[in-house]
Structure 1
């Protein structure tokens, strides 16, 4: 068992700040779990699947996240797991039960006092008014993005201007109006409307 924990700890070094690895490993061994580092996904940073037909809990985290985003996303998904253990599938995915579990699992992370100040402040703010995820908490998302590698071909959607064209994945859009935290964008090829997070990283394009 110890050698397995050590191997997992070594594998996590490239993804999570070293001081938090023991805590994450403890969470991994708290239940029968299949933990996977996933290829980048546009629609989500992490995923939790409950046990089915004797299979273990399953958690997957995108491997391209910066270390702090990987850590917070991992805690987010473990909160789904512990919520399922306590309440089964009878509660809302991001209801009060999940919020309480997320808060409970975040407290040891904050108590270590090893987070950058901007992220710590954003998390403390979240604890008082928890959002569904880091992807819907604008302040936390901004704080986490400070530690992303800079890609000079990409820009935040909120910075490109209304009616400007951009590429997201393999699709081309024209930015429209802001609706709360998302822009209503038109997919050029089909004319379909999509809501896109204001902090999505997109590739700006010249007028089509």
Structure 2
């Protein structure tokens, strides 16, 4: 099992992750990419704890996602099922489980400051932390996609479902963009991946 884990997460992280999997009775399932999530946790009808993680994630994002989902399991066991999925109990559990991994033997030096900042108050998804998301993306295979923050204001772009938008100005943290076909305004995170239409 350690050798299998090494295919998906940093090598030095594999033994402690395997211990977490064994300790909490995790059934880990590696699945094809889902656009709406990197991973999830659920209790199956037979009581088994299933965690799924997308196969397409780079090893650093895979590790963060896997520990994120294990934190759900541990928090529910410890505090009960009535807690908020990403409330203070989960945040505390995620911080506690992730801390041993935030080391230069596991993560590249350039990612450590972003991880340290993120884990002061972890978000429901690493994607909502634009700085961490962009830093993790540097370890993905090359892609023809751009981030919204990279394309010029006024230019058009296509999203995954084929809809075309024109990039507008930034409102606090997100960009106001107009759907070309309908004129409706949508807000996009700066690290949303889009296809720039030149």
Normalised by the shorter chain, which TM-score bucket? 0.7 to 0.9
The CA distance in 1 between the partners of 2:50 and 2:37, in whole Å, is 15
Flag structure 1 segments of 5+ consecutive residues without an equivalent: 1-7
Q: Give TM-score scaled by structure 2 length.
A: 0.88
Query: How big is the shift at 1:203?
Result: 0.9
The CA distance in 1 between the partners of 2:66 and 2:172, in whole Å, is 26
The residue matched to 2:123 in structure 1 has which SS?
coil
The residue matched to 2:119 in structure 1 has which SS?
helix
Query: How big is the shift at 1:37?
Result: 1.3
Q: How big is each residue's C-alpha offset from its partner over 1:60-89, in whole Å with a ceiling of 9 and x where there is no partner?
A: 111111111111111111111111111222
Structure 1 residues 52 and 154: CA distance shift in structure 2, 3 A: closer
The CA distance in 1 between the partners of 2:45 and 2:168, in whole Å, is 45
Per the alignment, residue 12 of structure 2 pairs with 19
The residue matched to 1:147 in structure 2 has which SS?
coil
Please say if residues 12 and 105 of structure 2, whose CA atoms lie closer than 8 Å, have aligned partners that are also in contact. Answer: no
Structure 1 residues 150 and 105: CA distance shift in structure 2, 3 A: same
Matches within 5 A, 1:1-208: 8-49=1-42, 51-111=43-103, 113-151=105-143, 153-171=144-162, 172-206=164-198
The CA distance in 2 between the partners of 1:136 and 1:112, in whole Å, is 24
Query: How big is the shift at 1:101?
Result: 0.5
The CA distance in 2 between the partners of 1:57 and 1:80, in whole Å, is 10
The CA distance in 2 between the partners of 1:164 and 1:36, in whole Å, is 40
Please say if residues 11 and 106 of structure 2, whose CA atoms lie closer than 8 Å, have aligned partners that are also in contact. Answer: no
Q: Give TM-score scaled by structure 1 length.
A: 0.84
The CA distance in 2 between the partners of 1:23 and 1:181, in whole Å, is 36
Q: How big is each residue's C-alpha offset from its partner over 1:79-121, in whole Å with a ceiling of 9 and x where there is no partner?
A: 1111111122211111111111011011110257431112111
The residue matched to 1:100 in structure 2 has which SS?
helix
Query: How big is the shift at 1:190?
Result: 4.6
